[in-house]
Amino acid sequence: MVRCSDRALLAALEERGPARVTQLAAELDAHPITVTQRCDALQSRGHVRRISTDMFGITEDGRAYLASIE
């Protein structure tokens, strides 16, 4: 299993739109707990927003951050 990177997570959210943790975990070959932890960290920096208990979406700040690290 590959470590879930912030870049990969943000790229997945930008490409697919809002997604459930389980969908992201499957796509990124990561454990759902890892994805939740990374999303929580990205949310604290304003890069993603929690849409529901287990669904996240990328923010405009997240898109700008992703563009700056690609």
* Sequence-ordered list of residues with C-beta below 8 angstroms from that of 18, at least 6 positions apart, any chain: 51, 55, 56, 57
For 49-63, write each residue's pLDDT tens digit: 999 999 999 999 999
Predicted model pTM: 0.89
Question: According to the model, what pLDDT value does residue 35 have?
Answer: 96
pLDDT of residue 16 exceeding 80, the answer is yes
- Give the percent of the chain with pLDDT over 90: 90
H helix intervals, the chain: 6-16, 21-28, 32-44, 60-69
Is CATH 1.10.10.10 the classification given to domain 6-69?
A: yes
Question: According to the model, what pLDDT value does residue 70 have?
Answer: 75
